[in-house]
Every structure is written in C-alpha cells, then in structure tokens.
Structure 1
Amino acid sequence: MIADISQRKIPLVLQCFLTIFLIRKCITLEHFPEFHFFFLGGLFSTIIALILLFFRTKASLHMIAISALTIFVIGLSIHNESRNINWIVFWVLMNGFVASSRLEMNAHTPKELVIGFLSGIIPQLILLPIWL
C-alpha cells in the first residue's frame, strides 16, 4: 500500500494517459460504443481521484473500479434487454466484499470508501443515458 497520498499522483496521471490512448486508438465509438463510454467514465473517475489528491483527500481506487463495473453491468443488462439479475447481485456483493476488506486491512476509512464509491458511479451514471 502507498502510505503517502502524494505517491498516488504519478500512477494516476500515467493511468489517465494510458486510458486516453486506449480510448482514442482501440476502443473507438464506432466499434465499441458501450466500452467506449465505460472507459470514458473510468477516465473521469481517475481524474476525480487525481483532483481529490490535490485537496489532500484519498479516494479508494478499489471502490472506484468495482462500483463503476457494477453500474456498467447494470447498464449492459438494460441495453441488451437481458435479465442478468445474478450478475448484478454478484457485483453488488463484490462491492460489499471489497469495502469490508479495505476496512479490515485498515487501508481506508469509511469516508474514503464512500468517496471512492461515489467517484466510481457518478461518471458512469452521467454517461449511461448516452449509450443506452
């Protein structure tokens, strides 16, 4: 685990650049619109986590990832008009497992987990109506 908040800045900036490259070159809007907006939401979540670091606030990157993936699975279920209730329940449970494991390891406070959760779902929810 990274003890100092400032040590997160370089990996997050690198992730931003790699995600931008991936969105522009591989996951284009014409070929994969669902994945394009999922990764775009992931980019926005990474930028939010980076901005929060400048305010000396740490967000749980694990919660950002798992909550964004949960919203994406829910969106795919709606988009494909399929009944994927088992997958949705699975990912919601995984959110709880990730949060409880981060608390058990003393890696985050409950506030950091909530910030991470919201940083993961809000960009996905904003972009969801565009590709649905």
Structure 2
Amino acid sequence: MKWLIKSISFIFHPIVMPLIAVVFYFHKTPRFIPEQWVDAKIISLTILSVFLPILIYYLLKTLGKAESIYLKSTEERIFPLLINIFIIGLIIYRVFPSYQIIELYYFFIGVLISNITALVLNITKFKVSLHMTAVGGVFMFFIGFAIHFSKNINGTLALMAIITGAIATSRLYLKAHTLKELIIGLMIGAIPQIIVENYWL
C-alpha cells in the first residue's frame, strides 16, 4: 500500500504536470497545428521542464543541498524554486510566446505566478504543497479549456478530480504536508489560472 501511495507522488510530481497539460492541449484542441511543430514544442518543453530540473536536482544532491526529490524542508525548496521560475520564464519567452498559442502562454504565466507565490511562502518558512499547486493549476486549465472550446471533457475532468484526491491522500499518508498546506497549495495553483483565464477565455 505504501509503495502505491509513494508511486502516486512520484508519477504526478510537480515537474511533469505542465507537460501533461501541454500534451492534453495538443491532443484535444480543435485548432489545426502541424504535427512537426507540436513535436518540436513537446520536445523543447520536456527538456526544459523535466530533464533540466532532474539534472539540477542531482547537482544539488551532490553538493549536499537536497536530500530527496520531494524537497522536504523549506530551505531545500528555495533554490530549486528560483531555478524553476527562471525555467518557466524561458518557456514563456522561447517555447510558448504570446503570439503563438495564447492559451498555453497564459497557462505558463499562471504557473509562473504560482511558483513565485510558493517561493515567497517558503522564504517565510511556510511549506506549501507543490504537488497540489501543480495539479490545481492543471485542473483549472482543463476547466478553462473546456469552457473556451465548448468541448465535453467530463471524463478527463473526473479523472483529474480522482488524481487530485489521490495526490492529496498520498501527501497526507506520507506525512509530507498538513491539510492546511495542501489546501493552500491547491489554491496557489488554481487561483492564478482563474485570473489569467480572463485574458484568453
């Protein structure tokens, strides 16, 4: 049972959630987008948002600045969050600029706001749940997508609700966060997406 719960936290780690959102968008969007262009964007995003953070994590671990991939203490999280903010800024500037795909541009603007908010809270010694921040942002993006394109994705939304609950249960079971940290994390992820959706809905 513990192995299954740990697997949920690992599979839905915050670094993979933006990639899940982008793959979902390209799979479900009614817009015509050339396949080669989509592949290039996904590869670029995977390198920047998944592989690069993993390499940085191992560097930090080698230097003794991180104990595990879950970054259990607020001190451990500050430098990775700073790096992630820089990476998200690079993604906004180079991979999804505003003149290409407006929905994904504002999605990453929301992600950037969430990361900055999480950094500020970590500096003040409040350990917000980054898992819930990530899934909350993606969940709200999916809802905005359904409204924007008038698409029925109720199955996807139901699955996201189950995943959100599973992640919250996993973090509580592993005693990684309190209920307060999970709720605030969810709000930090969802609220910025609600705000930026006003610019593309």
TM over 0.5: yes
1:51 aligns with 2:158: no
Q: Which residue of 2 aligns with 1:90?
A: 159
Q: Which amino acid aligns with 2:127?
A: K
Alignment correspondent of 2:75: 6
Q: Relative CO higher for 1 or 2, CA cutoff 8 Å, sep ≥ 6?
A: 1
Separation in structure 1 between the aligned mates of residue 168 and residue 176 of structure 2, nearest angstrom? 10
Identity %: 35
Deviation track 1:86-126 (CA, whole Å, cap 9, x = no partner) reads 11111111111100000011111101101100100010011
**Match for 1:38 among 107, 110, 120?**
107
Q: In the aligned structure 2, how far is the partner of 1:15 from the partner of 1:42? A: 10
Paired position in structure 1 for 2:197? 128
- 1:5-24 alignment, distance < 5 Å: 5-24=74-93
Aligned partner of 2:141 in structure 1 is: 72
Where does structure 1 differ by over 2 angstroms across 4 or more consecutive aligned residues? 1-4
- Pairing 1:112–2:181 present: yes
Separation in 2, partners of 1:118, 1:3: 20
CA distance in 2, matches of 1:37, 1:48: 16
TM-score between the two structures when normalised by the length of structure 2: 0.64
SS in structure 2 of the partner of residue 2 of structure 1: coil
* 1:60-103 Cα deviation digits (max 9, x unpaired): 00000101100001111111111111111111111111000000
In 2, Cα distance between the equivalents of 1:4 and 1:53? 9
Cα distance, 1:53 vs structure 2 = 1.1
Structure 2 unmatched runs, 5+: 1-69
Q: Normalization by structure 1: what TM-score?
A: 0.97
Letter paired with 1:94: I
Counterpart residue number, 1:29? 98
Runs of 5+ consecutive residues of structure 1 not aligned to the other structure: none
Return the index of the structure with the highest Cα Rg. 2
